[in-house]
Amino acid sequence: METAYQPTPRTTPTRYRERAHYDRKAVHAILDEALICHLGYLGAGGPVVLPTTHARLGDTLYLHGSTGGGPMLAAKAAPSGLPVCVTVTLVDGLVLARAAMHHSVNFRSVVVLGAARVVDDPAEKLRALSCLLDHIRPGRAADCRIPNARELAATGVLCVDLVEVSAKVRTGAPVDDPEDAMLPHWAGVVPLSLKAGTPVPAADLDPAIPVPDYLAP
């Protein structure tokens, strides 16, 4: 297994090349941390971008869909695979510079280019759904009722091989021009992170069932 993905013309940015990364572990860490992805494909009327959930298993990215949803229908109509771009983005901070021009966002993103295929094999579909559940919180797949045959048939899963993949990362402080350093504007970073609050039990949950450890903040 190579330690890095091979850059291609499509995964080589035209600007800020120093922010691009192809290291397999770095790419996987971003994909695994992001709760949702944005799936782009060419619909009947032009490009379409929809949020959905994803999970990675080795070098396969699984995407959740519903059998009647747009991406599933488009993928079913493309037996050799539906060209897609799957992008995940973690927002880590607001970067405030003295100059308007140098404002930025600290982020970690991954762009996956490839052909999405419909997962039809029931065993692979079950495995994918298990990954999608454990992606929410590791341990959840083993702590719920698994899908029955009817439910499995009603759930759509797409998969994309991780081959043409890149990450882009910005970290750290604002970069102002030296001549702006003395301007009277606050400059720095406001850190941002997605925080989990206290779990809210369903109204009809048996009060004897505790919040599982895997949901502890």
Site for a copy of itself in 147-176 (CB under 8 A): 147, 151, 154-155, 173-174, 176
Please state, in angstroms and rounded to a whole number, the distance separating the CA atoms of residues 117 and 158: 5
139 binds a copy of itself (CB under 8 A): no
Q: How many Å from the N-terminal Cα to the C-terminal Cα in the chain?
A: 34
187 binds a copy of itself (CB under 8 A): yes
Sign of CA dihedral 82, 65, 140, 120: negative
138 binds a copy of itself (CB under 8 A): no
Beta bridge partners of 39: 50, 86
Q: What residue type is 106 in one-letter code?
A: N
Question: Kind and range of the H or E element at 95?
Answer: strand 82-96
Based on CB atoms, which residue is closest to a copy of itself, 3 or 9? 9
Least distance (Å) between residue 29 CB and a copy of itself: 17
Q: Which of 46, 58, 79, 207 binds a copy of itself (CB under 8 A)?
A: 46
Q: How far is CA 95 from CA 63, 98, 102, 170, in A?
A: 32, 10, 8, 10
Least distance (Å) between residue 125 CB and a copy of itself: 11
Q: Which of 86, 128, 160, 169 binds a copy of itself (CB under 8 A)?
A: 86
Q: Which two tokens stand for residue 186?
A: 């606050």
Please state, in angstroms and rounded to a whole number, the distance separating the CA atoms of residues 124 and 216: 30
Least distance (Å) between residue 98 CB and a copy of itself: 6
Pairing type for strands 82-96 and 104-118 reads: antiparallel
Based on CB atoms, which residue is closest to a copy of itself, 111 or 118? 111
Q: Which of 27, 84, 158, 160 binds a copy of itself (CB under 8 A)?
A: 84
Q: Which of 1, 2, 18, 47 binds a copy of itself (CB under 8 A)?
A: 47
209 binds a copy of itself (CB under 8 A): yes
Site string for a copy of itself, 60-79 (x = CB under 8 A): ------x-xxx--x------
Residue count of the chain, please give it.
217
Stretch of 24-32, 55-63, 108-116, 117-125 lying at the interface with a copy of itself (CB under 8 A): 108-116
Provide the CB-side half-sphere exposure for 165 (13 A, CA).
Answer: 25
Q: Which of 61, 63, 111, 158 binds a copy of itself (CB under 8 A)?
A: 111
Q: Which of 85, 131, 167, 169 binds a copy of itself (CB under 8 A)?
A: 85
202 near 55, Cβ under 8 Å?
A: no
